[in-house]
Every structure is written in structure tokens, then in C-alpha cells.
Amino acid sequence: MPASTLTHPVVSGLVSDLSASSGHTAAVIAPFTGQVLHELPLSSTRDVADAFGSARLAQASWRAAGFAHRRAVLLKAHDLLLERRDGLLDILQTETGKTRGQAFEEVFEGATVTRYYAVSARSVLRTRRRRAGIPVVIKTRVSFKPKGVVGVITPWNYPIALSIMDVVPALAAGNAVVQKADNQGALSILASRRAFIDAGVPAALWAVVAGDGNEIGNAVVDASDYVCFTGSTATGTRVGERAISSLTGSSLELGGKNPLIVLDDVKPAVAAANAVYSVFSSMGQLCVSIERIYVDSAVSDEFTAAFVERTRNLKQGPALDYSTDVGSLTSAAQLERVSKHVDDAVKKGATVLAGGHARPDLGPFFYEPTVLSGVTEAMDCFAHETFGPVVAITVVGSEAEAIVAANASEFGLNASVFSGSIGRARRVADRIDAGSVNINEGYRASFSSTDAPMGGMKQSGLGRRNGAEGLLRFVEARTVAESTGLLTLPRTGAEFAKMAGLMITLLKALKAIRRR
């Protein structure tokens, strides 16, 4: 396979959309080959400042255009994403090393989110009456004002889906966006953004910058009216601290060490097949992928055997079609991280049931999907996020033991419960400390539920994306209350003396009729 399936005009046409004038570039490597895909122009802090200045001007007109206009533009962008899906899939695979199927999941999610917020923003953000303190005498309404310019910092692993999941609701609410793209995902972001620009989103309204996180990322945080960050817990904590220092709000989707519980009433082969995808999709380079499996001893032998067999039969390789099941890690750093976790576990006594080796014969960053048993607290992969194709299977003696083990983590992003009884699975799910819990699925059930909030507990983040909650983070709620003039509220001591009894009677009456 050549270093890039993307022609030079395609690449240069996309990178020309970056706000980048520093004169410096960064080499972006194609994961399937290890060769240079392109030289990405890098932004300067001046580019960031200019982008925010232009975005603020564009935002005023975009907000004034109203919900109907924004809906029409976003729905057209939805259609363009679908029309251009093959090109988007090529770029996404070439840039990240995903399989065609897992790249398709991203484009599907991007289109779904775009449609959802296009059609729901108006109803979620319409002005509503609220119960007044003194009914009839006062009328109260709550309306919503866009934050202004939202800073979005997007990682390399899901550049299209994670980008759109933050950018589109911000736009739908009437904001502008300045987005800091990871170098490795910039082409995918720019290609999907082009669909929105062609649909009618002003270019200045959604600007994209690239460069060093400490310089460019910090500049984006400092200039934003609200910040969305997706990435590691360590970096996200620093972003949150920097934002709050100026009382800027933020939503942070951070790391996970996501557990899957296999109860004793499953069909082991079926559960194993579903669990394998939950672990190895996108080579485990997904914040919500499963890294820990706790299986009941009553079904552990059958489940583990089926899981290992299916893992060994996964077809791995570089292909821009649907012929492979798993692809490549995205970078040399990812390969090093995964190798170190597996090597450390083996050195300290873990057993490799499947995988455990790099596959340089397939490409520079390929690593076999790996299944471990006997993982202990002494091993790096026990509690720390691997973010790669590695899972530890642990046998437990009961449902209660599985729940305790699943919750014994500093993270709480995603979890899964496999059971033959939906009722039982729901009861277990209610006891798991995670922002999303999937039943008989690993992550896609919750991840694809765009109408439901997504986010983490504990060290897995703050705030929520998706659903009404994902839209409301981009607006300020504003209360406007008015006196109807039917009764003058007391202003002097004498007036209070006359009206106090009436007001007490009113309170008692409201309680009696159970009014809020």
C-alpha cells in the first residue's frame, strides 16, 4: 500500500482551511505504512487570537439568523456528510488506522448527532414560563443565551465523531467555535467541517487551529467563553483548572478503565462474541472500550474459551474496505504504551491467552488483540488505562463480587453487564458507578443514544455531551420576571404589617393544594 491513498490536491485543499501561519509544520504519519502522510501547517497564538476575533463577529449574525436558519443549514450538512462518506472513510482510515467498519461508526454518529441537534435545538431552548413566587402577581420566564465562542479540544482517536458531538450542539445553540485539532486527526476534522461550510456555516464561525497543546491548546482555553475537552484525565484536569481560574465553564470527557460483568445466566458463546467487539473496536483506542472483564465462575471456562477463540480468529490488516475486523494502532507512542503494559504484566506473572505481540509484518504499528489472565494489582494494566487492544479476564465467585470489583477504580466512564435476564442486568447496572452502563452490549448502545447524556463519574470527567444536557451546557439560563400590577408588593414596614397575614395564608393555601 502506498504511503497515502490521499492525493496531494485533496490534502493541500483541506489543510488550507486551517488557521495556520506560524511557518512551522509537523509530519503526520500514516499508521498503515509508517510513511509521512503530509506536513501539517501549525498555528501560532496570533492565529488563535485572530480566529476568536473573527468568530465573535460571525457569531452575532449566526445567532440573529435564528433556529429555523440553523436547522436548515445543519440538515444540509447532514446530507453532505452522507453523500461524502466514502471520501471521509478513506481519510479517517488513512489518518487513524481504523478498519472501514469502525470508521463508518464515526461517520454514522456524526450524521446522527447533526440531525438530532438540528431538529431538537429549538424545542430544548425555547423560552418557558416558570412558577412565580407569588402566582398571578408575578410572571416569570426563563430564556437561554448562547455562551459566545466555544473552545473545543479534540483528540486523535475519534476525530470526526468527537468533533461533531461537541461542535454541532454549540452551533445549534447559536455559538461560534474555535477548535484545536490533534495533528493526527486534523484532516478528518477538516474534511467533515468542509461539509458544514458547503452547507452554509460561515467559515469564520467554525475555525480550526493545530499545534502544541501547551501553547495553542492553552491559548484556546484562555480565549473561550466555554471549553469542551476530550482526552486523558491528567491533561483534562489541567484544562479544567485553567478554565476555572477565569470562571470559564467546561465539560471534560476523560479516561476510563471500563469493566464488563458476565453473569452466570448468559449464553457464553454469544456473550463472548459481543464482548470481543466491545474490547477490540478501534484497537481499544476508545475512551469507552472495555479493558476489564469479570466473569462468573459458573460460566468462566466456556466464556473464556469462546472469547479467546474469537479473538484469535479476528482478521487484522490494512485495508480500505470491509475485509478486516481490526486495524492498526495509530502511532509509535501507542504501540510503545501497549507493549509496555503487556510486557510488564507477563513479567509479573500474568498469562497471555491470545495475542501479546506486535505484527510488523502487517505494518509498523500493528499489535495483536491480546487477552490476559492472572492480572494483579502489581501490574500497570490492572488499574491504569491501556487505551489499546488488551483486556484482562478475571473470574469471580458471585454477582456481588463482580460489582465490587467493577467499582474498584478511580474511573467511572462506561461499563457493561451481560445477562440472560434484562431485569437482573438492570438491577446490577443500577449499582455500577459509571456515567453510562450497557446491557448485553459493550458501548455502542449508550454511545449511539444521542438523546441521552454521556459523560463520566469520578476521575472520568465533568459535564455531559449528547441529549438536552449536551445542548444546555452551551447556553446561559436567564430569568425575566415581571410584576403584573394586580397587587403592589409591600415596600414599607407598615405595608408589610398589613400584608404579612395575607402572605402566610397564601403559603398555607399553596401547600394545601400541593402547588410548588
- Closest Cα partner for 45 from 204, 225, 220, 235? 220
Beta bridge partners of 316: 326
In whole angstroms, give the CA distance from residue 282 to residue 99. 7
Q: Calculate the alpha carbon distances from 43 to 10, 180, 265 in Å.
A: 20, 10, 55
Give Cα 180 to chain centroid, integer Å. 15
In whole angstroms, give the CA distance from residue 21 to residue 192. 22
- 282 secondary structure, DSSP code: G
Give Cα 363 to chain centroid, integer Å. 28
* 400: Cβ contacts below 8 Å, ≥ 6 apart: none
Q: Calculate the alpha carbon distances from 275 to 224, 294, 295 in Å.
A: 40, 11, 11
DSSP 3-state assignment of 225?
coil
Beta bridge partners of 144: 477
In whole angstroms, give the CA distance from residue 229 to residue 251. 6
Q: How many CB atoms lie within 10 A of CB 450?
A: 19
Beta bridge partners of 358: 367
Long-range contacts of 422-429 (CB under 8 A, 24+ apart): 424/263, 424/265, 425/263, 428/261, 428/263, 428/399, 428/402, 428/403
* 68: Cβ contacts below 8 Å, ≥ 6 apart: 122
Whether 408 and 383 have beta carbons less than 8 Å apart is answered as: no
Q: Which residues are catalytic?
A: 253, 287
In whole angstroms, give the CA distance from residue 96 to residue 285. 10
Q: Is 329 left (phi over 0), alpha (psi -120 to 50) or beta?
A: beta
Q: Where do the DSSP E strands lie in 14-122?
A: 25-29, 36-41
What would the grid cell of residue 431 be? 449499582
